Structure 1
Amino acid sequence: MRRSREVNERLHRAIPGGAHTYAKGDDQYPAGMAPVISHGRGAHVWDVDGNRYIEYGSGLRSVVLGHAHPRVVDAVQIQVGRGANFARPSLVEAEAAERFLETVPTAEMVKFAKNGSDATTAAVRLARAYTGRSLVAVCRDQPFFSTDDWFIATTPMRSGVPPQDTLAFPYGDLDALDTLLTENDGRVACLIMEAATALDPPPWYLHGVRALADRHGCLLVFDEMITGFRWAAAGAQGLYGVVPDLSTFGKAMGNGFAVSALAGRREIMERGGLRHEHERVFLLSTTHGAETHSLAAAMAVMDVFAEEDVIGRLHWLGDRLRAGVAEVAHQAGVGDHVVVRGRSSNLVFATLDEGGRPSQEYRTLFLRELVRGGVLGPSFVVSAALSEADIDRTIEVVAGACEVYRLALETGDPLRYTGGRPVKPVFRRFA
């Protein structure tokens, strides 16, 4: 990885953190083993040294169909040749909005943006304006909602962030949520949460959240950045049958192209429009929010989802990977330490130490062996482009990694096998 190491130094000289997303930073990979990507096709990527990898978690879960998917590329090329941005809305804006509302029929209006943070912050602003309240309640068991102050104030990386009117509630506990809303009765503008996390929600939990929001007069916002186009094209709200007041989509919706969406009830969304008598809300006025090529990419993705069983394929691939990893981990004697979790379309892995505790040292060891075997896997989130052979090869590499893992458990010294410093959590107070 000589060239990757050289380019990583260039990245750090020019870019704070050496990447434009903290989760892509080289501190998330073993020392000296953070490849810089040259290009990708399907489920494979190549680094600048010419090494080829089977990739998981593509683009932080955004590339659901695989890199350079032909239908997406064709749609983007057509629109780029017609112009990307104009002084007035383009026809593609109407077409994309209508297509989105057909795909997510629980929403009545939609407005597009470029990233998830803008969409979730717009939802918060809209909820505050609609309810006349200031407090926001976020689900504390879910890792990320926005780069903006209202959320970052809840993380350890609070430097530069003034105090915010943000509360937190645990996932799956209706009594705790009821207590929070009762103690702050009449002050909470919205609840914002992912409807599902690693596992399906407890029975009737989402219905209970919906009822509590209604009882206390606050809006319910579903962050569908991950669940949209992975749980179902219509997101978790379409799968579980619980309709939020507002929802946000992104990531897989553009298959890697920059597009996100704020959607919801007409009477709320229209507060950011021109056809109402209330005080106006400054809602998602972005220069690049409706670039034609990104909207074309989103429509191409929605077409593929309508015509092919993408969700079914994601689950088939995830099921095969989960079973294979569990089998080789058990055979190596580390089945209680290398654990695959989550919905089959959105798998993650846990690396546990001798006492069954999550361990950054053992994660480093595991990631190192994956990269050495040609698997780039910060998670085991699958794309539809993976082949059966890709899954089988991944399981072979995991089997080798589990043998090293067993040796580290036996010696009690995982750092001996990491090649350097351990990987670090994204949200930490000091670099």
Structure 2
Amino acid sequence: MSHTDMEIFEKYESVVRSYCRSFPTVFTKAKGHKIWDEQGREYIDFFSGAGALNYGHNDEKMKKKLIEYIEQDGITHSLDKATNTKAEFIQKFNDVILKPRNLEYKMMFPGPTGTNSVESALKLARKVTGRTDIISFTNGFHGMTIGSLSVTGNAAKRKGAGVPLQNAVTMPYDNYVSDNYDTLDYLERFLEDGGSGVDIPAAMIVETVQGEGGINAARLEWLKRIEAICKRWDILLIVDDIQAGVGRTGTFFSFEPAGIKPDIVCLSKSLSGYGVPFAITLFRPELDVWNPGEHNGTFRGNNHAFVTAAAALDYWKDDKFEKEIQRKGKMVEEFLTQLNNKFPELKGEVRGRGLMAGIACGVDGLASKVAEEAFKHGLIMETSGPEDEVFKLFPAMNIDDDALKKGFDIIEQSVKTLVKEPIMN
């Protein structure tokens, strides 16, 4: 077996690369919840493409559909021309996802990344309302392009813009101040007070569970009140479901348990089901005030993604898959709770919902060390939060129980090694 010279990346690839620093090996193959490197070493994947591989790697049914489509010389690139694959996806998404949830949305296909979905949502909200500002929330993350960065909280990512980020107001997310303080009292006071300096915004953009921000899960009551405030002030509610959606928290849309109906929803990451770039922006039909071509993108007609995304929807034809995600989510919660109780040295806090969970460590640098140690033992896991203080579990939603427990064992052993040995700063 030939081996790749790691120096090629050091020599020719920009220093902007990041994940390869956390997982320093050359990967060659992946299937389901497993991934292999050049040496043939097997890893359990609790990273899942940062939430882009909710169904695991190379799902057999999706792969078969895609191969068949390619072999038949199906359309690959089409901009926004009509294709049979687009029609099939639209119809199936409406029938399998929207109608059963009593949701009526127009579908817009922006460029195939999450940040493009967010950019289109912000543009549309401003166009519909004629207002300029957007309210976002502390520790929110919405993408790396300028509009998305303006509503992102992370200081390091914002600094990368290189220009002032404007027309956004940051408000405290749920439990940002303390468990006993309702941050929406603070937000609503700003809207009510003509001297607050905060204009009525075009929209509020929120994640129900903040992924990059530290696996902060908003209470359902808080989300319900957000919707009520938006309705009271005629503000559009945008839910960024790019990472928390497509089943990650236990339901297809992460906002379902709150019983709310956002005006605009952003989806990407696992929407294609296969790791193929794909994004959509959903919005109430009456908000569809675009001029033709007013927001577009060369790769908004990714037909390979239409094929795999339509196949992925078969998982959602009944509630069996959803119940399995919720059952595994409880397994994760129980494991993290007992781990946190067993190792008070973590100074930890269990966070998240469903299969989007983790532990925030109160010891500087410890979460990163846990992920690093786990990698040595064959588990891929990342960190999140403004100081990388959370190690987070993002297993494939269809991972089997044995593999899930094996991953748990590796994490527990990694924590045990670190807290019992004086290697921390």
Taking structure 1 as the reference length, the TM-score comes to 0.81
Alpha-carbon distance between aligned partners in 1 of 2:354 and 2:250, rounded to the nearest angstrom: 12
Contact 2:325–2:397 (Cα < 8 Å) also in 1? yes
Shift of 1:248: 0.6
Cα 1:259–1:297, aligned 2, differ >3 Å: closer, same or farther? same
Q: Deviations over 1:357-406 (max 9, x none)?
A: xx22x223312321121111112112133222212322332232232222
Pairing 1:167–2:169 present: yes
Corresponding residue number in structure 2 for 1:405:
418
Give SS of 1:39's match. strand
Corresponding residue number in structure 2 for 1:277:
none
Counterpart residue identity of residue 293, structure 1: H
Counterpart residue identity of residue 78, structure 2: F
Give SS of 2:415's match. helix
Alpha-carbon distance between aligned partners in 1 of 2:9 and 2:82, rounded to the nearest angstrom: 36
Pairing 1:84–2:76 present: yes
Pairing 1:249–2:267 present: yes
Counterpart residue identity of residue 211, structure 1: A
Shift of 1:329: 5.7
Alpha-carbon distance between aligned partners in 2 of 1:73 and 1:364, rounded to the nearest angstrom: 34
Alpha-carbon distance between aligned partners in 1 of 2:223 and 2:339, rounded to the nearest angstrom: 36
Give the alignment partner of residue 178 of structure 1, picking from 182, 188, 195.
188
Cα 1:387–1:335, aligned 2, differ >3 Å: closer, same or farther? farther
Shift of 1:93: 1.5
Alpha-carbon distance between aligned partners in 1 of 2:409 and 2:209, rounded to the nearest angstrom: 31
Contact 1:228–1:234 (Cα < 8 Å) also in 2? yes
Q: Higher mean Cα deviation, 161-170 or 149-158? A: 149-158
Corresponding residue number in structure 2 for 1:424:
none
Cα 1:104–1:262, aligned 2, differ >3 Å: closer, same or farther? same
Pairing 1:227–2:244 present: yes
Give the alignment partner of residue 47 of structure 2, picking from 57, 68, 76.
57
Matches within 5 A, 1:131-170: 131-142=129-140, 144-153=141-150, 154=153, 155-157=155-157, 158-159=159-160, 160-170=162-172
Cα 1:338–1:52, aligned 2, differ >3 Å: closer, same or farther? farther
Corresponding residue number in structure 2 for 1:367:
371
Counterpart residue identity of residue 73, structure 1: K
Give the alignment partner of residue 206 of structure 2, picking from 193, 198, 202.
193
Corresponding residue number in structure 2 for 1:267:
286
Alpha-carbon distance between aligned partners in 2 of 1:206 and 1:104, rounded to the nearest angstrom: 20
Give the alignment partner of residue 255 of structure 2, picking from 234, 237, 250.
237
Shift of 1:124: 0.2
Alpha-carbon distance between aligned partners in 1 of 2:164 and 2:145, rounded to the nearest angstrom: 11
Contact 1:181–1:188 (Cα < 8 Å) also in 2? no
Pairing 1:344–2:354 present: yes
Contact 2:271–2:279 (Cα < 8 Å) also in 1? yes
Cα 1:398–1:185, aligned 2, differ >3 Å: closer, same or farther? closer
Cα 1:194–1:366, aligned 2, differ >3 Å: closer, same or farther? same
Contact 2:269–2:279 (Cα < 8 Å) also in 1? yes
Q: Deviations over 1:173-196 (max 9, x none)?
A: 211221333435654111111134
Alpha-carbon distance between aligned partners in 1 of 2:360 and 2:44, rounded to the nearest angstrom: 19
Counterpart residue identity of residue 251, structure 1: K
Count of residues in Structure 1 that have an aligned counterpart in Structure 2: 385
Alpha-carbon distance between aligned partners in 1 of 2:326 and 2:257, rounded to the nearest angstrom: 14
Counterpart residue identity of residue 227, structure 1: A
Corresponding residue number in structure 2 for 1:126:
124
Corresponding residue number in structure 2 for 1:420:
none
Corresponding residue number in structure 2 for 1:258:
277
Corresponding residue number in structure 2 for 1:95:
88
C-alpha RMSD of matched pairs (Å): 2.6
Corresponding residue number in structure 1 for 2:179:
none
Corresponding residue number in structure 2 for 1:426:
none
Structure 1 gaps of 5+ residues are 275-280, 354-358, 416-431
Pairing 1:299–2:310 present: yes
Give SS of 1:53's match. strand
Give the alignment partner of residue 330 of structure 2, picking from 297, 310, 319.
319
Contact 1:149–1:164 (Cα < 8 Å) also in 2? no
Give SS of 1:341's match. strand
Q: Deviations over 1:83-133 (max 9, x none)?
A: 212373212212212222331342420012311100001000011111111
Give SS of 2:237's match. strand
Q: Deviations over 1:198-243 (max 9, x none)?
A: 4653353222212222232321111111232223554133332211
Q: Deviations over 1:34-66 (max 9, x none)?
A: 233212101000122321100112111111111
Give the alignment partner of residue 216 of structure 1, picking from 207, 229, 233.
233
Cα 1:335–1:342, aligned 2, differ >3 Å: closer, same or farther? farther
Taking structure 2 as the reference length, the TM-score comes to 0.82
Counterpart residue identity of residue 168, structure 1: T
Alpha-carbon distance between aligned partners in 1 of 2:409 and 2:252, rounded to the nearest angstrom: 35
Cα 1:13–1:178, aligned 2, differ >3 Å: closer, same or farther? farther
Percent identity over the alignment? 17
Counterpart residue identity of residue 149, structure 1: I
Cα 1:161–1:104, aligned 2, differ >3 Å: closer, same or farther? farther
Corresponding residue number in structure 2 for 1:385:
398
Counterpart residue identity of residue 167, structure 1: V
Cα 1:216–1:323, aligned 2, differ >3 Å: closer, same or farther? closer
Q: Deviations over 1:337-357 (max 9, x none)?
A: 45542113211233332xxxx
Matches within 5 A, 1:416-427: none
Structure 2 gaps of 5+ residues are 175-182, 383-391
Cα 1:208–1:72, aligned 2, differ >3 Å: closer, same or farther? same
Alpha-carbon distance between aligned partners in 2 of 1:49 and 1:122, rounded to the nearest angstrom: 43
Alpha-carbon distance between aligned partners in 2 of 1:151 and 1:287, rounded to the nearest angstrom: 19
Pairing 1:11–2:9 present: yes
Cα 1:400–1:237, aligned 2, differ >3 Å: closer, same or farther? closer
Q: Deviations over 1:323-346 (max 9, x none)?
A: 345445655x44654554211321
Alpha-carbon distance between aligned partners in 1 of 2:126 and 2:10, rounded to the nearest angstrom: 39
Counterpart residue identity of residue 172, structure 2: P
Alpha-carbon distance between aligned partners in 1 of 2:340 and 2:170, rounded to the nearest angstrom: 36
Alpha-carbon distance between aligned partners in 1 of 2:397 and 2:220, rounded to the nearest angstrom: 29
Counterpart residue identity of residue 31, structure 2: R
